[in-house]
A and B are shown apart, each in its own frame.
Chain A
């Protein structure tokens, strides 16, 4: 295996060089273009087009009697286009919905392709062997001239996407605005559709009809978790496409009987799963950490507030508060209280006194932080009663959640609106801002 590995990546076999270059270009262009399809909710149109080019491939073969890659390309581009037009025509001229129209074009065109393919196979033309590589793709069986043509086509698609990025973006996401500022909308739509058809066609021999759609969809969907910017998304999707192409063609080189397409798809799906869980911008782990961090913050703030409330009730700032005292004041799980206090101790907001009684005291910094939370709580209660005229006994719960999210800017605005109030609706003192107090 390791021998194969080095052989493959040292690129000693010229055929490998070609195949690798071709599939990487394909992965890059399909990944980038797929972003437009996925973001415009037309992911499965690519699936239908990929299936619908099969009759084009067969027809080109029947007419020329040969597997000339250029003729096959022309045939499939023509049928890809026809399929798009038919899908569009059905939806415009009947009550059929777009998903049904996609499903119909996909299956009927593919059925036609299968009829033609089996007809060719039964006709006994010796040239036909290898046409069925179009079904599942086999990068290893590609000839250098195939690779050159399809690689070149993919490269062109990439160049067009890079050069016309701004126009494509505008037409894709704000067609009304594009029209107003005088973009040739019809021609641009035509261009995008052509790019799609051409990319799919170029990918067929490597990935195959059935799985071509996934090379458009999966890299783009994976890239979505990494960023909110279309430009970055295109780059990430292209990289995901390229990496899957490399692993797919390596596997196909190592085991020539393995079809390339499925291996590329599985690698892409693996990268998608990684992105889904671990992408820093929108991944699941990040979401989970964020939620957890928020929960921790709320817990710590509630503990500080409770300690402050205890001080407030007996006016003693140096008395050590035991766990039982705190729990009596505010009900929570004992384990969570302990872990919260430990983390507050570490950050210097409370001090732990061991001995008798074993307990905690707010430090000055902790007291200031607690005052801030209590201030926000009481300001919000006052705001609700004064400005929104909500009854005083209904405002506590709302303030309980707002106290954790009010920003310093909103705090300043509340103070301004309420004219630096002294007491909350329950006549409790609103703690003042102290110098250096707001951590």
Chain B
């Protein structure tokens, strides 16, 4: 039995804002199934009560004074924009009747 179906891959792709062709979805489903099969080996370990390690080094979040500092000027920030207008990035309409969001 496969661990991940093509339909599930398509659902995940939507969450990740990727659109896959049918062939791509098939290939990805097969690859992910192999990888997920391999990582099942972690289930053999008893981790009850073990703290997860999100960051390797024991560091507190560093704070700094809330003071104004120079930052990237708008024209430099916009220089790589595919489309801009004034000091804004231009994008197509956000809503188009329906969006499953």
Do A and B form a real pair?
no
Interface positions of B (Cβ within 8 A of A): none
